[in-house]
Structure 1
Amino acid sequence: MPCVSFLLVGTCLLVLGPAVWGAPSQCPAQCHCHGDLQHVICDNVGLKKIPQVSEATRLLNLQRNNLGSLPTGSFASSKGLISLHMQHCQLHEIGGQAFKGLKKLIYLYLSNNEITSIKPGAFEDLTELTYLYLDGNRISDLPKGIFSPMINLFILQLNDNKLRDIKPGTFAGAKDLRWLHMSGNEMNSLQPGSLDDVENLAILHLDRNRLSTYPGLAMSKLRVVEELSLAKNPLRSIPDNAFQSFGRYMEKLNLDGMGLEKFSDAAFNGVTAIKSLHLDNNKLKSLPNSLEFTTITNLTLSNNPWSCTCMLAPLRKWMDSSRQRPDALCSSPSSQRGKQIRDSSAFSSCKVKTKRAKKGTRH
């Protein structure tokens, strides 16, 4: 993910803060310690349990050890931690109050484990946590309010788990969450109200799930989404006003590889800032009148059975005035089959109404 290098730089800056004096000064066996125990590195050293570290420790790296589970109070002596790395540790369960006492923790990496269960209260005390990585696990259910202590949570990675549903109240308390990644799960739907607690989301990734209907009710309270990905879900249609609640902020929309057959005519009502739109590998024949092309700078359209009639005249007009002329072949009428939309003569007699910019458009 593009933010990872930035986060690691941020981690390094944070962990070089002042040490807590008077704490134990011994480096755990098998580990490497730096900066007066501020960095404790125990990467791939055969650990079976959590080592005891000094309260001076700011970064603890436990990657690639066989830890199995995190019971209650696993980090009781590590109250100074800011960054905790436990990727590839064969973790299968996070116990209640597993991180109790880590009131300064900002970065928590639990990616690529075998976690199936997160007990209620597991994240108690993590009031400063800002970045939580739970991707690449086997989580099928999230208890209601599991993230409620995390009032500063900004990025949550839940990609590539076994999530089947998100219930109302799951994200209660995480009101400042901005990036929510839930790609590659098994969700058939999102319950109405399931995202009401995170109305300030800017990035929402739901691609590679099993959504067969557009989750409009679940997303109705979202106000400032800038990037939405629904790619590779078996969605056949997009309804009217699908993006209206956040349309003046949405700049990037991924709808590729869905088998998408149509947009309702008012699907793009309120969408005034879109720059990047991906519609390739679907079953689209036309585009709705509500889609405005004036702000688009990146558009993909290939592998759709486009009907080259005047319904696509606004698209052709945009192509004629844009530096970008994406691949898009006509499938019908028969006289135009196989021709690029950008080269087709089917639009020569079409009239396109010029749309005036709406007041309040976000630039």
Structure 2
Amino acid sequence: MDSKSRVKAQLRRWKEEERQRFFRLTRAILLNWRILLLFCGHFTVQAAKCPQECFCVQLTVTCVNKNLTQVPPAVDERTVKLDLQGNDLQELPTGAFMHTPYLTHLSLQRCNIHKVKEGAFRGLGRLVFLNLTNNNIDILHQESFDGLFLLKRLIIDRNRVKEIQPGAFSQLGSLNLLSLSHNQLVYIPNMAFQGLQSIKRIRLSYNFLIYLDTEAFVELVNLKRLNLSRNPILCICYLRPLREWAIRNEVNLMGTCGGPSHLSGESLDAVHPSDLRCQSEEEEAAGITPRPTEEPNKVKCPANCVCEGLQSIKRLRLSSNFLIYLDTEAFVELLNLKRLNLSRNPILCICYLRPLREWAIHNKVKLMGTCGGPSHPSGESLDAVHPSDLRCQSEEEETAGITPRPTEEPNKVKCPANCVCEGLQSIKRLRLSYNFLIYLDTEAFVELLNLKRLNLSRNPILCICCLRPLREWAIHNKVKLVGTCGGPSHLSGESLDAVHPPKLRCQSTEEEAARITP
């Protein structure tokens, strides 16, 4: 091939390469324009679907602290993450999220939610994370979490949950973590965790659980950690089945014993089942078995129902609880009752117990147990204390019709034995939360001149006349009292820092005005 032919061939190759480059460039430009148009079109639709109060980025919608009173209906149905923290939703109705079926993460913290209706989350079949922390939910109803088949983590911390209805979690078969810390649970029903086949961790810390029945956990074959810390767990024979079950199934029990005294503070995961006794070691060695309970009333009558047959009860056992006082009205229909066992309760033997004691004498009912306070009848048998000794004031004050007032000689703050305490006058904040304080004497705090905050939360404080001096002292010294009233019923739940001193009475308003003693 001559040089002229070679040049022509080279030119043809160059032209072909240029043509191929042109086609590739054109194809790339068209593809990029198509992607750009789709991208712009996506954001145009997304912007149109984003609620005015919210901020939307792709498939995430954030509506934090916007004072919303309902779930915004204008959220794009393709939304994957929805954050509604800090709003005022109050109640989640049935099907509240039916318009967002693709959600995987839902945050509802601090939304003032007090009720989750059955089927509230129905339609959220893709949800894997749900956070309900810091709300006011008190009951977990049947089918409240209906439809959450793929949910992995459910957080219900810092609410007021005191009841879990059987079947509440029945459809959460994929759940790995359930957290119910900082609630008001006193007992766990046997069917409470039914349906949680995949659960690995349950948090029940910071509640008021005394003991737990093993039946509530036997079906949880994958459970590895049960957190019971900061509960007043009673480490006696009733806890032995749970401890044996935990050892057998290699479940880590987190928490400590709240009693009896010889086991108090012992780790639940370290205590040996043989140490969990309801009798002394000598009795066990001698083969003496504990006496059977006196026909305990195990049947609980559901709300809005009528239960028959209670009139025939002769013996009722309420021992080993945290009862402070009892209203006589609870027992007036038990016409055949002969024995009421209140042992191992911190019963406050003051004027509020007088009606019950008089009723027991009149109906020849034996009261078993002892006074837990105040100091002068402490330890005395309930069946031996005379009604006239059950006072909220001194005998002289009752006779003269004088209402209680603070003592005039202050006592110093007690320093622990073998210790030297200096500088308490500079204390600004004092935490006494999560104890079993019923009332406090003002004189314990009078020398804390710089105290500004006294935390009494999660204590069964009795808001009666005995607390009035402390409340008046707090107002006078501008000390914030943190916590709520544990009783009597008309003040239960009221903030200690909001209750007015005149409301702290041991008599009715009319009786105080007429100087009538209780």
Amino acid at match of 1:31: C
In the other structure, the counterpart of 1:51 is 72
Distance 2:98 2:271 in 1: 54
Which string of whole-angstrom CA distances, capped at 9 and with x for unpartnered residues, describes residues 315-358 of structure 1? xxxxxxxxxxxxxxxxxxxxxxxxxxxxxxxxxxxxxxxxxxxx
Alignment of 1:214-363 (within 5 A): 215-218=239-242, 220-222=244-246, 223-225=248-250, 227-231=252-256, 233-236=258-261, 257=265
Q: Distance in 2 between matches of 1:154 and 1:259?
A: 25
Is the Cα contact below 8 Å between 2:53 and 2:63 reproduced in 1? yes
Shift of 1:221: 4.0
Q: For each residue in 1:131-177, what CA deviation from the matched residue of structure 2 results, as whole angstroms up to 9, or x when unmatched?
A: 00001000001011211100000001000100111111111110110
Q: Give 1:121 shift.
A: 1.0
Q: Match for residue 124 of structure 2?
A: 102
**2:190 is aligned with 1:168:** yes
* Higher helix residue share: 2
Whether the 8 Å CA contact 2:233–2:256 is kept in 1: the answer is: no
Match for 2:63: what amino acid? C
Which residue of structure 1 aligns with residue 143 of structure 2? 121
Q: 2:49 aligns with which of 26, 31, 52?
A: 26
Say whether 1:155 aligns with 2:177: yes
Amino acid at match of 2:242: A
Q: 1:132 pairs with 141, 154, 162, which one?
A: 154
Counterpart residue number, 1:315 = none
Are the equivalent residues in 1 in contact too, given 2:141–2:164 (CA < 8 A)? no
Name the counterpart of 1:65: 87
Separation of aligned partners in 2, 1:265 and 1:126: 38
Match of 1:92 in 2: 114
Partner of residue 42, structure 1: 63
Structure showing greater radius of gyration is 2
**Matches of 1:155 and 1:107 in 2, distance apart?**
10
8 Å CA contact retained: 1:237, 1:264: no
Greater strand proportion: 1
Q: 8 Å contact 1:235–1:259 — kept in the other structure?
A: no
Deviations 1:92-119 (A, max 9, x none): 1111100010000000000111111222
Q: Is the 8 A contact 1:111 1:137 kept in 2?
A: yes
Would you say how many aligned residue pairs link Structure 1 and Structure 2? 229
Unaligned runs of 5+ in 2: 1-41, 276-518
Note the aligned Cα RMSD (angstroms): 2.9
Q: Which residue of 2 aligns with 1:276?
A: none
Shift of the alpha carbon at 1:213? 2.4
Q: Following the alignment from structure 1 to structure 2, what is the Cα–Cα distance between the partners of residues 147 and 138? A: 18
Amino acid at match of 1:32: F
Amino acid at match of 2:138: T
Contact 1:195 / 1:219 at 8 angstroms: preserved in 2?
A: no
In the TM superposition, residue 218 of structure 1 has moved relative to its aligned partner by: 3.4
Q: Is the 8 A contact 2:184 2:208 kept in 1?
A: yes
Tell me the CA shift for residue 264 of structure 1: 5.5
CA distance in 2, matches of 1:60, 1:237: 50
Amino acid in the other structure paired with 1:141: E
Percent identity of paired positions between Structure 1 and Structure 2: 30
Runs of 4+ aligned structure 1 residues displaced above 3 Å come to 22-25, 218-227, 235-238, 256-260, 262-267
CA contact (8 A) 2:139 2:165 kept: no
Residues 219 and 108 of structure 1: CA distance in aligned 2, closer, same or farther (over 3 Å): farther
Matched residue SS, 1:174? coil
**CA distance 1:32–1:218, change in 2 (3 Å):** same
Considering Cα pairs closer than 8 Å and 6+ residues apart, tell me whether 1 or 2 has the greater RCO.
1
Cα separation, 2, equivalents of 1:237 and 1:169: 32
Q: Shift in Å at residue 123 of structure 1?
A: 0.7
- 1:220 deviates by 4.3
State TM-score, norm by structure 2: 0.41
Q: Residue 235 and residue 94 in structure 1: after superposition, are their counterparts in 2 closer, same or farther (change >3 A)? A: farther
- Distance, in Å, in 2 between the alignment partners of 1:264 and 1:156 is 27
Unaligned runs of 5+ in 1: 1-18, 239-255, 268-363
Measure the CA separation in 1 of the matches of 2:161 and 2:267. 28
